[in-house]
Structure 1
Amino acid sequence: MVKIAVAGGTGQVAREVIDKLVATGKHDIIVLCRTAPVIDIPSDIRWMSVNYNDKTGLAEVLSGVHTVLSFIQLLSDPNQIAQKNLIDAAIEAGVKRFAPSEYGSKETVHMPWWDGKGKVREYLQEVNQKETVIEYTLIQPGLFLDYLAFPHKTSKYVDPLQTIFDFEHKRTIVVDGHEDSIMTFTTVADLAGIIALAVDYQGKWPTNGGIRGNRLTYSQVIEIGGRVRGHAFNVEKVQIDDLNAGELKTSWGLEAVHRAVSQGDAAELLKSVSIGILLSSLKGAWDVSEDFNKLFPDYQFSSAETFLRNVWVGK
């Protein structure tokens, strides 16, 4: 049993992980929030209001904590001051392990909305440059497989989001000539399951904490889509030069936006997300490692085709 602090613990992904940790019945869990939570917090865990600009106060809160899991929203803190202060406070308090707010691709190239991840990664490398002062892992499950179920919700808390793989309308967007680009898809439930195992793991955490639920090419995703939806997908092909110029020449685009994004910024960000995912996948950004798979070889991940067939059957 260890004491775990979950920063940004009222977020959707954080709540999935918290529920999984609570279900183990093993740990003392503290949820860190900027303000009093407007959601129901399980009675067997505590929440604490914190000021991420107060490193001394944070260190006091983290006293006796073994592991910090951060789910702080990157877009709300462009310079990542909150996470950097959290890291400093964790080191001061003697925290053993830290997981920054990641939970996506292994690289952030062409994805400016995730620039903050790079800043936090650099900071962790900097504080550990001379010696390891805090053990950390970059938890990277690729894209949530749940998003391919849009608009159907497949997890308790995480809202469905659209992607360039539109199973609802049986269509997708690919870069012409790059149908073999790799994407990793992992369910939210499997992410939470692996994190629960990682917290219990007695050895050293891998720095690159890849979680590979399903490793698929664009072509394979399209083939799965055709089988589970009973109809071949309409494939729209775009050109690299257009994408590099910031142009998405397609007949459709994403419409559902993350709740952290204002409506005023939504249209431009959604186009940027489509372009960014397409370009970044050409550079292997979504082909995550299998470091955690190797640590937990007996863990059974949800198969993409089985998961999606269960979602879409009869629809």
Structure 2
Amino acid sequence: MVNIAVAGGRGQVSREVIDALVVANKHDITILSRTATKDVTPGVHWRVVDYNDASDLIRALKGVHTLLSFVQPLADPDQKSQKNLIDAAVSAGVKRFAPSEYGSSGTIDMPWWAGKEKIRKYLKEVNKDGKVLEYILFQPGLFLDYLAFPYKTAKHVAPLQTVFDYQNRRAIVVDGHEDAVMTLTTAADVAAVVAQAVDYDGEWPIIGGIRGNRVTFSQILEIGEKVRDGPFAVEKVQSQDLEAGDLKTSWALEARHQAVSENQAAGFLTAVPIGILLSSTKGAWDVSDELNQLFPDYEFVGIRDFLANVWDGRS
């Protein structure tokens, strides 16, 4: 049993992971929070911290073995909070750290994730003269749960629209890139594998790919037509239009992520599909499988069974 600290413990993904850790019942868990809470989850403690106060962070991290960060990159453009966490972790003697990742392996054409690159670079700098902080980048691709939109299939991760609209049997694909790869993993599988990684006694790999399902755009559409009992209206867009910031389609996303403010929403609802489509053509969503190899006995939820169960009997 070791002490685990979780930064950003109110978020959707963090709550999935916290639940998995609580069920495992192997570690003491402390949630670092900017504000007090009335949460009384057994086995979970809350501690109010100031991310701008180095001394406060160091005190909070004394005795902590593993620090998991879920600080939302969009809320901290300069990534000051995560950098302060990393510095405090080193000073407090924390052994392992996982920054706020939980998405694609690459961030190209996705400016909303520019903060991830800043933290990746910062972690390399911290260890440039010798490893002082073991860390891992948890990368599960896109949550498979999003293909169930508008239906909720995870305990905490909310439904979110993508370029694959199973509800309305339609999709957006980059012309000539129908075989672009997407990695799709359920939120429950991500949380379970992260919990196993926390238990792991060996050294973490820096890249922590979690590959639930590796499928092409064409395969996602093929599965969709089977589970939705009909053809999809597929709109093909041109790479050059996307590069110019133009999404020439008859429909666009409407539901915004909780991390996106109402003021940001209009721009994001266009930028996100453009970014996902472009980045997919450049391999950003073809996630590696380091943690699959580390935990070969873990059985991931398959995309066909998952979507068949979600959409069975729905009009």
Q: TM-score interval w.r.t. the shorter chain?
A: over 0.9
Whole-Å separation in 2 of the counterparts to 1:292 and 1:175: 30
Whole-Å separation in 1 of the counterparts to 2:164 and 2:292: 25
2:180 matches 1:197 = no
Deviations 1:64-104 (A, max 9, x none): 00000000011110000000000000000100000000000
2:128 matches 1:119 = no
Whole-Å separation in 2 of the counterparts to 1:37 and 1:251: 44
Output aligned runs, 1:141-220, within 5 Å. Answer: 141-220=140-219
2:27 matches 1:27 = yes
Match of 2:103? 104
Are the equivalent residues in 2 in contact too, given 1:10–1:37 (CA < 8 A)? no
2:24 matches 1:14 = no
Output aligned runs, 1:36-51, within 5 Å. Answer: 36-37=36-37, 40-51=39-50
Deviations 1:211-253 (A, max 9, x none): 0000000000000000111111111000011001000000000
Match of 1:268? 267
- AA aligned opposite 2:310: V
Match of 2:4? 4
Give the secondary structure class of the aligned counterpart of 2:234.
strand
Whole-Å separation in 1 of the counterparts to 2:284 and 2:258: 24
* TM-score, scaled to structure 2: 0.99
Whole-Å separation in 2 of the counterparts to 1:203 and 1:196: 14
Structure 1 runs (4+) greater than 6 angstroms displaced? none
Whole-Å separation in 2 of the counterparts to 1:79 and 1:215: 33
Q: CA deviation at 1:41?
A: 4.3
Give the secondary structure class of the aligned counterpart of 1:274.
helix
Give the secondary structure class of the aligned counterpart of 1:4.
strand
Whole-Å separation in 2 of the counterparts to 1:10 and 1:295: 29
Give the secondary structure class of the aligned counterpart of 2:128.
coil
2:85 matches 1:86 = yes
2:103 matches 1:95 = no
Whole-Å separation in 1 of the counterparts to 2:269 and 2:219: 24
Are the equivalent residues in 2 in contact too, given 1:145–1:188 (CA < 8 A)? yes
Q: CA deviation at 1:262?
A: 1.5
- AA aligned opposite 1:13: V
Q: How many aligned residue pairs are there?
A: 314
Unaligned runs of 5+ in 2: none
2:283 matches 1:305 = no
Please, what is the CA RMSD of the aligned residues? 0.8
Q: CA deviation at 1:263?
A: 1.4
Give the secondary structure class of the aligned counterpart of 1:268.
helix
- AA aligned opposite 1:280: S
Give the secondary structure class of the aligned counterpart of 2:265.
helix
Output aligned runs, 1:272-287, within 5 Å. Answer: 272-287=271-286
Whole-Å separation in 2 of the counterparts to 1:307 and 1:251: 28
Q: CA deviation at 1:274?
A: 0.3
Whole-Å separation in 2 of the counterparts to 1:115 and 1:126: 17
- AA aligned opposite 1:293: N
